[in-house]
């Protein structure tokens, strides 16, 4: 871990100003991903701004009938919130399937969204990685790819986004609220928040320089049956080999988002119009680029969808 | 309840093994001893006794970047000056001699470093000490001592919920934190009904404890120990 | 004390303390966090500096140039140790690769430097400033590709090859045959405590507080590496956070800490970081195994062959995967063979039940395949081929004791095996396909000479000192039980001091020999002490009964402390094992029964029930022994379902080298585990009449899981680990 200076910010404005004042500054909240990466010098901020005391830890109803989740709401608290459990069960389920209780107690909503993508080569600084050193090349291509992406990949990067929470937020069409150093705010649809790698895989989100996530807003509840199915070799405390966030609606206009497939939570709205799981799977996976190690994700996705359709039918 | 055995008869005659090294080092060592004379005299009690604040960092050259932080550890206020890079885990282990919290991976992948912060279990390896200004931290040393075990510690002994013992403090802190989470109605991945009452069933315990790896794999026994304590607490 | 004839009735047989389920005496220290592990001896080396190892970025080649100036100039850095300034180093005979690249690099993450600094943070950051120019070599990393060039090499535990009768002829004439190839991956010990050492010099005297299973070997290997006399080295390892073979020999943490302490002129603490462990230290090597079995229609095996290929660094060793096949089942015509390929991955070496753990993964699935072809119940097939002597040597070399058949029958009963549907893919429970599997468990029970010093003080407190280690195995407790039993005192009046090289040399912990051997050493010392106490008290030693803190003989009763006298009495003795291991096959046995559920949609396998019946001689502490068995079973479930060090054959290293990517089982993977011990006393094994139990549980369990997956799904997998993608490939389409 490179030496850094540290300060504690007490208001969002002070945090934004502190960030602007220091070229290599980063916010730290839960720290569960950032410190992991700093220890390996994959992240090397010169200055840390502790944002834990900004008060962004409330979950409030919106006038539209949705919920506004403060950026610093801990994953445990979000999953356990009575309104989330009742009206957005897919989000609660997704959160609870992620990491461990200890990590969920620490990790924040914004931190979860902003966690770096996963790839064992990204984590090993002796190997080339376009994320760590743009232009260095990608060691994962042609390497151990079993857990890596098959959708939206590029020659430069095939890493996957590890978040479960973000997959559920994607299926719920959440909005990510931000504030810029000049005080302007905006709401970014979650679909546009994470980027595909393209030839700049080191840029993982569409956040602008100095911009800070302040909240995530959920639209009014969709109703329906909420399912989060996480497939993994180990029963718990493992990243998804594949995950599916599903909201099964009586209208038949179901929604599906996928984890473990791509550099971002993966959702193909067009595919949701299809009536059979096989047709949905085919449309979701259009353009898949697989390796012999991860090609199994293609049939797996179809089978998981089939079991979700069956579950929805059984509970109807 | 079966008798809890006396504290271990496993002490090693290692006091004479203290390394004195070259004269300069020796001076540092003697100064340390002089400054914290309770250390050697108190033996293992030192770990939780009044000498616990004997800051290891006092031997290191003062650094301009060091920051002061005030922690309330096991009910006692403790002030430290620390390099901001020092994790909460290393502050406990290397600066406060509270070595009960273990470093198994240092990356949030094993749970051996689990402590309770304001009652909540976290991985102390993935948290900077300076971020915990004013926080109440409970470590394994704060739960109980060999002479006065916490019920969870006693249950781990009775059910042989450990072997090598290295993940054990983390398992125990985690188990204590977990029962609090169940009591608070926090659901888990295996809770069939997200809106129902949470219970400490075996399946729930297993899922909720899965952030604590045990390679000796006392899992089956740990579940029995935790279940017993959960039952006892109604 | 020599042990070269079977044990007669002896004072251990009273079994008032020994053999009782007993809480660990080190329990209170461990559950309160007050048991000090190696890196925690700040009380003894309070001024220690911190060292961080820089590992090689290449797998194979040579260091061309080291750039250490930036690191040396960094704040807090006290020294940077590399081969250029480390002085002359030897290579311990026990080490396959050197602990410091000098300048040849033998594997990825081999130590190339140690950065010593005032603080941990400074050392870790300083290490990142060391730059190394390498001339990469061309390594070999693909076992399958190197199989053809593999050579025959004997193991120190037995020859590479064995043959009896005419295997090829017998196989050709057999009514039913199986010929299958199985592969097992490289695996990591992944003990929870990373390798860690504090080293300090006092003049030319080196002290190491380290985490090590074999104290005397540690002294020897340090001496051979540092080229100093063993007498100059003191090793202390009273608490070890797991080893499973990874800590049988000192690793780079110990060597580099010693070199760092010499350079910095003060004690230095070094722990390997978790991401370094898989590549820097040892691992269980991958294997390719071919098993061929020929049987008559009645199920009797007439031909059996097991061949294994594994890899290691040059001058490395074979993984003895076929050794159990030499002994487990009958059959007149047999052959086994081991071949060793050169691979430039880290050092392949012992991990819990080396050889047998992976050997069973092949043999015990082959037995399941044979049972199916024969239309026989797999339990029955194993019973039918039981043998009570070494099948290679014949009846002249019987088993010392062997209760495999009873393990199988009792286990089948406890588990409800009769309910199994022999036709695969028939049982559903909601979305789960449910199946049951069985496997035999066989593990050699070696013994090692072991010494101990036992004393009684004037208060009647018994103290045992031996360099034996407790790596979670329960050594503290079984040794205390042994001494309490023999000296006739309650457990609370026994103090046990372990893991110090100043104490008599014990068996150490490894190869599941530790419990039986080290308690036998304590037995020898206690028996000698009993004799001397009786003599001192003027009692007839042969008649004397030690109980309730008294020595009783001839109507007299003398308190132990008084017999010892004001100065106390101390003796030392050693158990020396004769040739009973040659005359008798000594092994422990078990039977594993497993029920799995396989998700019909995803192919995810989850273990639902597990049961193991063991016969391992006297069970010294059923509580701790059970824990050893469930722990080994769990490790075996990991081997079956998830554990694999993935080799990147381009760069030549294990890619998934941390606990986020190398999966070991978690709580949620493991159901309640049923373990049952059969009554057995083995008088040929030792005066304790015990056998090894620490590694038995991992033998066969993974095969039972594989067989249960087959029973659940009809998918026969031979390529471990049995991950969902492999299961999925064989599952029928969803209805």
Q: What is the 3-state secondary structure (H, E, C) of chain A?
A: CCCCEEEECCCHHHHHHHHHHCCCEEEECCCCCHHHHHHCCCCCCCEEEECCCCCCCCEEECCCCCEEEECCCEHHHHHHCHHHHHHCHHHHHHHHCCCCHHHHHHCEHHHHHHCCCECCCCCCCCCCCCCCCCCCCCCCCCCCCCCCCCECCECCECCECCCCHHHHHHHCCCEEEEECCCCCEEEEEHHHHECCCCCCCCCCECCCCCCEEEEEEECCCCCCEEEEEEECCCCCCCCCCEEEEEEECCCCCCEEEEECCECCCECCHHHHHCCCHHHHHHHHCCCCCCCCCCCCHHHHHHHHHHHHHHHHHHHC
Q: Which chains touch B (3 or more CB pairs under 8 A)?
A: A, C
Residues whose CB is less than 8 angstroms from the CB of residue C592 and which lie 6 or more positions away in sequence, other chains included: C411, C438, C439, C440, C441, C610, C611, C612, C633, C700, C701, C703, C704
Residue C26 to residue B165: CA distance in whole angstroms? 9
Pick the residue from chain B with its C-alpha nearest to A83.
B195
pLDDT band at B4 (very low <50, low <70, confident <90, very high): very low
Cis peptide before A234 (omega within 30 of 0): no
Check A237 against C724: CB less than 8 A apart.
Answer: no
Does B6 lie at the interface with C, CB-CB under 8 angstroms? yes
CB atoms within 10 A of CB C470: 31
pLDDT, position B232: 64
Handedness of CA B134, B140, B145, B151 (dihedral sign): positive
Pick the residue from chain C with its C-alpha nearest to A125.
C57
Catalytic residue among C102, C106, C643, C695: C695
pLDDT, position A181: 87
Chain A residues touching residue B126 (CB < 8 angstroms): 30-32, 35-36, 103, 106
Q: Rounded mean pLDDT of C195-217? A: 98
Torsions phi, psi of A100, nearest 5?
Answer: -130, 170
Q: Is the pLDDT of residue C248 over 70?
A: yes
Check C32 against B143: CB less than 8 A apart.
Answer: yes
Burial of A221 (0-12, 13-18, 19+ CB in 10 A): middle
Q: Rounded mean pLDDT of C503-531? A: 98
Q: Rounded mean pLDDT of A207-215? A: 94
ipTM over 0.95: yes
Q: For helices C622-641 and C701-713, what crossing angle results, to 10°? A: 50
Distances in Å between the Cα of A102 and the Cα atoms of B170, B209, C570 are 11, 9, 50
Residues whose CB is less than 8 angstroms from the CB of residue C237 and which lie 6 or more positions away in sequence, other chains included: C38, C209, C210, C211, C212, C215, C218, C469, C499, C500
Chain A residues touching residue C648 (CB < 8 angstroms): 139, 143-144
Pick the residue from chain A with its C-alpha nearest to B189.
A96
Residues B162-204 have pLDDT tens digits of 999 999 999 999 999 999 999 999 999 999 999 999 999 999 9
Q: In the predicted model, what is the mean pLDDT of chain B?
A: 80
Residues C586-605 have pLDDT tens digits of 999 999 999 999 999 999 99
The DSSP line for chain B is -PPPPPSPS-----GGG----SHHHHHHHHHHHHHTTHHHHHGGGGGTSGGGG--GGGGSPP-TT-EEEEEEETTEEEEEEE-TT-BHHHIIIIIS--TTS--S-SSSSS-TTEEEETTEEEEGGGSBGGGGTT-EEE-HHHH-BTTB--HHHHHHHHTT--SS-SSHHHHHHHHHHHHHHHHTT---TT-S-TTS-----HHHHHHHTTTS--SS--HHHHHHHHHHHHHHT-
The pair of three-digit structure tokens given for residue C139, joined into one six-digit string: 């390594």
pLDDT, position C735: 67
Strand C196-202 relative to strand C205-210, pairing: antiparallel
- DSSP state, C502? T
Q: Rounded mean pLDDT of A236-243? A: 98
The pair of three-digit structure tokens given for residue C624, joined into one six-digit string: 């701790």
Chain A residues touching residue C725 (CB < 8 angstroms): 146, 296, 300
Check B14 against C200: CB less than 8 A apart.
Answer: no
Pick the residue from chain C with its C-alpha nearest to A308.
C601
Contact assessment for residue A165 and residue A231, using Cβ atoms and an 8 Å cutoff? no
Which residue among A5, A28, A32 places its CB closest to the CB of B65? Answer: A5
Q: Is the pLDDT of residue A240 over 70?
A: yes
Instruction: Of B127, A232, A239, give the one whose Cα is nearest residue C660.
Output: A239
Chain B residues touching residue C41 (CB < 8 angstroms): 14
Q: Is the pLDDT of residue C373 over 70?
A: yes
Of A113-127, B49-63, C80-94, least confident by mean pLDDT is B49-63
Q: Rounded mean pLDDT of B46-68? A: 44
Active site residue C406: no
Residue B118 to residue B121: CA distance in whole angstroms? 9
pLDDT, position A23: 84
C589 alpha-carbon distance from chain centroid:
16
Q: Is the pLDDT of residue B100 over 60?
A: yes
Tokens 């300048």 belong to residue: C103
Q: Is the pLDDT of residue B35 over 70?
A: no
Contact assessment for residue B32 and residue B52, using Cβ atoms and an 8 Å cutoff? no
Q: Rounded mean pLDDT of B217-221? A: 98
pLDDT band at A316 (very low <50, low <70, confident <90, very high): confident
Does B49 lie at the interface with C, CB-CB under 8 angstroms? no
Q: How far is C389 from chain B, CA to nearest CA, in Å?
A: 33
Q: Is the pLDDT of residue B54 over 80?
A: no
Q: Rounded mean pLDDT of C386-403? A: 98
pLDDT, position A252: 87
Q: In the predicted model, what is the mean pLDDT of chain C?
A: 98
Residues C576-591 have pLDDT tens digits of 999 999 999 999 999 9
Residues B112-169 have pLDDT tens digits of 999 999 999 999 999 999 999 999 999 999 999 999 999 999 999 999 999 999 999 9
The DSSP line for C442-491 is EEE-----EEEEEEE-TT--EEEE-S---SSS-HHHHHHHHHHHHHT--G
Maximum CA extent, chain B:
67
SS3 C121: helix
Contact assessment for residue B121 and residue B114, using Cβ atoms and an 8 Å cutoff? yes
Residue C185 to residue C194: CA distance in whole angstroms? 22
Check C271 against B215: CB less than 8 A apart.
Answer: no
Check C669 against A241: CB less than 8 A apart.
Answer: no
Torsions phi, psi of C232, nearest 5?
Answer: -85, 5
pLDDT band at B11 (very low <50, low <70, confident <90, very high): very low
Residue B204 to residue B189: CA distance in whole angstroms? 8
Torsions phi, psi of B82, nearest 5?
Answer: -135, 145
Residue C417 to residue C397: CA distance in whole angstroms? 33
Q: Is the pLDDT of residue B12 over 50?
A: no
Q: Across the beta sheet with C550-553, what order do the strands follow?
A: C545-547, C550-553, C556-559
- H/E element holding C165? none
Chain A residues touching residue B122 (CB < 8 angstroms): 102, 105-106
Would you give the end-to-end CA distance of chain A in angstroms?
A: 53
């Amino acid at each position: 871990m490179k030496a850094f200076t540290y300060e504690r910010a007490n208001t969002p404005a002070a945090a934004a100003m502190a960030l602007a004042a220091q070229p290599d500054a980063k916010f730290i909240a839960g720290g569960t991903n950032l410190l992991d990466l700093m220890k390996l010098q994959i992240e090397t901020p010169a200055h840390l701004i502790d944002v834990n005391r900004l008060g962004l830890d409330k979950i409030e109803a919106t006038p539209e009938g949705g919920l506004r989740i403060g950026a610093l709401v801990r994953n445990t608290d979000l999953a356990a919130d009575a309104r989330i459990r009742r009206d957005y069960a897919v989000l609660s389920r997704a959160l609870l399937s992620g990491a461990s209780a200890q990590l969920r107690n620490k990790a924040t909503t914004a931190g979860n969204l902003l966690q770096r993508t996963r790839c064992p080569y990204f984590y090993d600084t002796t190997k080339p990685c376009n994320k760590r050193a743009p232009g260095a090349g990608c060691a994962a291509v042609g390497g151990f790819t079993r857990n890596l992406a098959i959708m939206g990949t590029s020659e430069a990067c095939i890493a996957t986004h590890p978040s479960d929470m973000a997959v559920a937020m994607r299926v719920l069409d959440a909005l990510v609220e931000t504030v810029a150093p000049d005080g302007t705010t905006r709401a970014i649809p979650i679909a546009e928040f994470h980027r595909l790698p393209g030839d700049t895989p080191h840029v993982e989100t569409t956040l602008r320089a100095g911009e800070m996530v302040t909240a995530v807003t959920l639209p009014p509840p969709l109703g329906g049956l909420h399912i989060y199915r996480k497939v993994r070799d180990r029963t718990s405390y493992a990243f998804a080999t594949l995950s599916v966030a599903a909201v099964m609606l009586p209208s038949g206009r179901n929604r599906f988002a996928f984890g473990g497939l791509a550099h971002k939570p993966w959702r193909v709205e067009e595919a949701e119009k299809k009536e059979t799981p096989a047709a949905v799977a085919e449309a979701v996976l259009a353009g898949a680029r697989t390796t012999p190690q991860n090609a199994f994700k293609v049939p797996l996705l179809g089978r998981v969808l089939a079991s979700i359709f069956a579950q929805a039918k059984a509970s109807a | 309840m079966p008798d809890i055995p006396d504290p271990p008869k496993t002490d090693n005659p290692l006091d004479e093994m203290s390394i004195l090294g070259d004269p300069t080092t020796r001076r540092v060592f003697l100064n340390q001893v002089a400054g914290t004379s309770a250390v050697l005299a108190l033996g293992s009690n030192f770990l939780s006794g009044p000498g616990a604040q004997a800051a290891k960092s006092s031997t290191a050259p003062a650094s301009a970047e060091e920051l002061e932080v005030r922690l309330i550890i096991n009910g006692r206020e403790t002030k430290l000056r620390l390099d901001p890079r020092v994790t909460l885990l290393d502050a406990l282990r290397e600066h406060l001699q509270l070595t009960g919290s273990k470093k198994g991976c240092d990356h949030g992948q094993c749970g051996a470093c689990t402590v309770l912060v304001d009652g909540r279990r976290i991985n102390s390896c993935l948290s900077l000490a300076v971020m915990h200004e004013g926080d109440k931290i409970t470590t394994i040393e704060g739960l109980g001592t060999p002479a006065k075990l916490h019920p969870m510690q006693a249950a781990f002994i009775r059910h042989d919920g450990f072997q090598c013992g290295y993940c054990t403090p983390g398992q125990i802190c985690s188990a204590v934190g977990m029962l609090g989470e169940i009591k608070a109605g926090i659901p888990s991945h295996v809770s069939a009904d997200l809106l129902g009452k949470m219970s400490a069933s075996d399946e729930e315990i297993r899922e909720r404890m899965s952030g604590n790896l045990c390679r000796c794999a006392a899992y089956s026994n740990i579940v029995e120990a935790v279940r017993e304590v959960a039952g006892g607490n109604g | 004390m020599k042990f070269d004839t079977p044990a007669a009735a002896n004072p251990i047989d009273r079994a008032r303390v020994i053999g009782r389920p007993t809480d660990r005496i080190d329990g209170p220290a461990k559950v309160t966090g007050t048991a000090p592990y190696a890196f925690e001896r700040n009380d003894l080396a309070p001024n220690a500096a911190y060292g961080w190892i820089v590992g090689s970025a290449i797998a194979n080649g040579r260091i061309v140039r080291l750039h250490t100036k930036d690191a040396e100039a960094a704040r807090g850095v006290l020294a940077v140790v590399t081969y250029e300034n480390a002085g002359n180093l030897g290579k311990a005979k026990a080490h396959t690769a050197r602990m410091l690249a000098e300048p040849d690099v033998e594997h990825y993450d081999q130590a190339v430097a140690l950065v010593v600094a005032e603080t941990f943070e400074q050392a870790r950051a300083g290490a990142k400033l060391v730059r190394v120019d390498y001339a990469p070599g061309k390594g070999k990393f693909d076992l399958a590709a190197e199989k053809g060039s593999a050579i025959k090499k004997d193991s120190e535990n037995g020859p590479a090859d064995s043959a009896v009768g005419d295997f090829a002829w017998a196989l050709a004439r057999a009514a039913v045959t199986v010929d299958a190839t199985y592969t097992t991956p490289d695996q990591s010990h992944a003990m929870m405590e990373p390798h860690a050492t504090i080293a300090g010099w006092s003049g030319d005297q080196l002290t190491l507080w380290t985490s090590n299973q074999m104290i005397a070997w540690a002294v020897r290997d340090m001496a051979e590496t540092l080229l100093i006399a063993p007498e100059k080295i003191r090793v202390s390892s009273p608490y070890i956070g797991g080893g499973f073979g990874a800590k049988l020999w000192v690793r780079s943490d110990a060597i580099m800490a010693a070199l760092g302490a010499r350079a910095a002129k003060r004690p230095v603490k070094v722990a390997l970081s978790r991401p370094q462990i898989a590549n820097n230290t040892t691992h269980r090597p991958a294997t390719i195994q071919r098993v061929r079995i020929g049987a008559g229609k009645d199920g009797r095996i007439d031909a059996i062959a097991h061949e294994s290929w594994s890899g290691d660094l040059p001058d490395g060793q074979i993984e003895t995967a076929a050794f159990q096949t030499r002994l487990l089942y009958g059959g007149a015509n047999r052959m086994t063979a081991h071949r060793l390929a050169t691979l430039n991955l880290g050092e392949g070496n012992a991990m819990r039940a080396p050889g047998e753990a992976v050997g069973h993964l092949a043999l015990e699935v082959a037995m399941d395949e044979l049972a199916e072809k024969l239309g026989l119940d797999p339990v029955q097939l194993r019973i039918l081929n039981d043998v009570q002597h070494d099948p290679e040597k014949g009846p002249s070399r019987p088993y010392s004791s062997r209760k495999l058949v009873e393990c199988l029958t009792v286990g089948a009963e406890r588990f409800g095996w009769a309910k199994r549907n022999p036709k695969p893919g028939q049982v559903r429970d909601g979305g789960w396909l449910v199946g049951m599997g069985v496997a035999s468990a066989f593990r050699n029970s070696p013994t090692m000479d072991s010494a101990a010093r036992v004393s009684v003080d004037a208060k009647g407190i018994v103290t045992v000192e031996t360099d034996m280690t407790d790596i979670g195995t329960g050594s503290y407790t079984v040794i205390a039980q042994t001494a309490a039993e023999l000296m006739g005192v309650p457990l609370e009046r026994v103090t046990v001091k372990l893991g110090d090289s100043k104490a008599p040399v014990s068996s150490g912990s490894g190869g599941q020999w530790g419990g039986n051997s080290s308690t036998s050493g304590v037995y020898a010392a206690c028996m000698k002490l009993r004799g001397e106490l009786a003599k001192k008290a003027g009692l007839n030693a042969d008649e004397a009964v030690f109980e309730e803190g008294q020595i009783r003989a001839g109507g007299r009763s003398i308190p132990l402390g008084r017999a010892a006298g004001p100065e106390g009495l101390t003796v030392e003795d050693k158990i020396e094992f004769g040739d009973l291991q040659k005359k008798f096959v000594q092994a422990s046995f078990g039977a594993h029964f497993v029920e799995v559920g396989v998700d019909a949609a995803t192919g995810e396998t989850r273990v639902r029930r597990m049961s193991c019946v063991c016969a391992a001689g006297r069970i010294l502490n059923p509580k701790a022994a059970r824990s050893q068995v469930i722990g080994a079973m769990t490790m075996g479930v990991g081997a079956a379902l998830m554990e694999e060090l993935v080799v990147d054959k381009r760069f030549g290293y294990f890619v998934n080298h941390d606990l986020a990517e190398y999966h070991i089982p978690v709580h949620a993977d493991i159901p309640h585990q049923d373990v049952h011990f059969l009554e057995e006393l083995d008088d040929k094994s030792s005066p304790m009449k015990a056998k090894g139990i620490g590694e038995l549980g991992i033998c066969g369990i993974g095969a039972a899981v594989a067989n249960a997956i087959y029973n659940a799904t009809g998918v026969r997998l031979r390529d471990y680990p049995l991950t969902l993608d492999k299961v999925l490939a064989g599952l029928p389409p969803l209805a």
